[in-house]
Structure 1
Amino acid sequence: MPEITLPSAAEVIAAHDAALTSAPVTVEPDDLRGWIAANHFHNRSLWAQEDLARRKLAPDAEIVANKRAIDRHNQQRNDAIERVDEFLLSALGLVDPATLTAALPRSTVAPGARLNSETAGSMLDRISILGLKIAAMREQTLRTDVDDAHRESCDEKLQRLSQQRLDLGACYDELLADARAGRAYFKVYRQFKMYNDPRLNPALVAESK
């Protein structure tokens, strides 16, 4: 198989960190890195909405709006994960292109390869979330309205989170290397989010009658 340039963990982490204050991304249909950025944007948006949804003094209507935004961003986050997996599987030659967008894409992996229980797209999603945790924990270490014990505790957590992201990034790189060499593979796992589908959510079905 000819060498294909796919984003490394280091490249993704750098892009995630650089995007923490950027505007929403516009994704082209054939842009793998754009879908990775879209996943990160929706994780950032989820984080902000989750914070707002936990307010105690806000009007109920604002909390309802936060919860609906959470549902919307979570759906888009999961859609982006699936698109990332489709791109990676296609680039690695691990799936029949004609079935790529089907509910169950047909694997073309040679016998003997191990199936990785987590998809590469899901690993990038976790790396994205770790990046948000790192940024938020770093802010805690810089606060001037708390005592030294708080800052020291948060600095220790920051170091652990940073190591976790490096570890997960190494696992992602290893999975892609093993997949390219025919030693491992993964699949697209469709999320089938039922609560956002008016045809599948029983409460929404009841409202439509």
Structure 2
Amino acid sequence: MQFTENCNKIFAQSIDTYHIKDHVDTPIENPFEKEDIQHLLYLKNWIDTVQWHLEDIIRDPEINPDEALKIKRRIDASNQERTDVVEYIDSWFLTKYEGVNTIEGASINTESPAWAIDRLSILALKIYHMQEEANRENASAEHKKACQTKLNILLEQRVDLSTAIEELVQDIEAGKKYMKVYKQMKMYNDPSLNPVLYKEGK
């Protein structure tokens, strides 16, 4: 099984499990051992899935402002957790290929494998929910047709992205490309870097 095939299978498993209860406070029950890369992939998608639904909730035009602020802060925390997990996945790749000698002329990719996998995880959610819309019983025929067209494009995009990730990993394994991981230096969460937070009296 190719790596991305396994990713897509795990993402689908996470999304399906979440939608059994379909609630943002459902606790995660990760079925994979912590030492396994599959554990990180499942965790990554579960975070994305919960955040997807938090983003839906916060867009309710009648939401209570206090509740909206709580959700916004929860989304901020989720974004940080998502970034941390992406970096853990990249660390797994770095360890896996640390013994590879790069060939002359080896190049660096515009994004690391884990950030590409991050996009694959989000794409799995887009596919799931567009499929829902394409099959929604109370929707118009026009709505269903438009959503099916979008779904077909998303499915094609998943094939293309999966192929690109496989090629990137193969190139890293062969020494044709090399990895460098830059830790995300987010400033707005840091009390010493966000001017609103480090103002006198804050």
| TM bracket, shorter-chain basis | 0.7 to 0.9
Matched residue, 2:178? 185
Matched residue, 2:110? 117
1:24 partnered with 2:28: yes
Distance 1:111 1:24 in 2: 45
Matched residue, 1:166? 159
* Alpha-carbon spacing, 1:143–1:16, altered in 2? closer, same or farther (3 Å): same
Distance 1:63 1:34 in 2: 31
Distance 1:73 1:24 in 2: 14
Distance 2:148 2:79 in 1: 29
5+ residue gaps, structure 2, are 19-26
TM-score by length of 1: 0.84
Distance 2:29 2:93 in 1: 20
* Alpha-carbon spacing, 1:10–1:207, altered in 2? closer, same or farther (3 Å): farther
* Match among 10, 27, 39 for residue 34 of structure 1: 39
Once the two structures are TM-superposed, the CA of residue 25 in structure 1 deviates from its matched residue by: 4.9
Runs of 4+ in 1 over 3 A off after TM superposition: 25-31, 108-111
Give the aligned CA root-mean-square deviation in angstroms. 2.1
* Alpha-carbon spacing, 1:207–1:12, altered in 2? closer, same or farther (3 Å): farther
* Match among 83, 94, 98 for residue 93 of structure 1: 98
Distance 1:192 1:146 in 2: 43
Q: How does 1:194-209 map to 2 (within 5 A)?
A: 194-206=187-199, 208-209=201-202
Once the two structures are TM-superposed, the CA of residue 30 in structure 1 deviates from its matched residue by: 4.0
Q: How many residues align?
A: 192
5+ residue gaps, structure 1, are 1-5, 96-107
Q: Which moved more, 1:197-206 or 1:47-56?
A: 197-206
Identity, in percent, stands at 34
Once the two structures are TM-superposed, the CA of residue 109 in structure 1 deviates from its matched residue by: 4.0
SS at match of 1:57: coil
**Do 1:92 and 1:179's aligned partners in 2 also have CA atoms closer than 8 Å?**
yes
Matched residue, 1:154? 147
Residue 114 of structure 2 aligns with an amino acid whose one-letter code is G
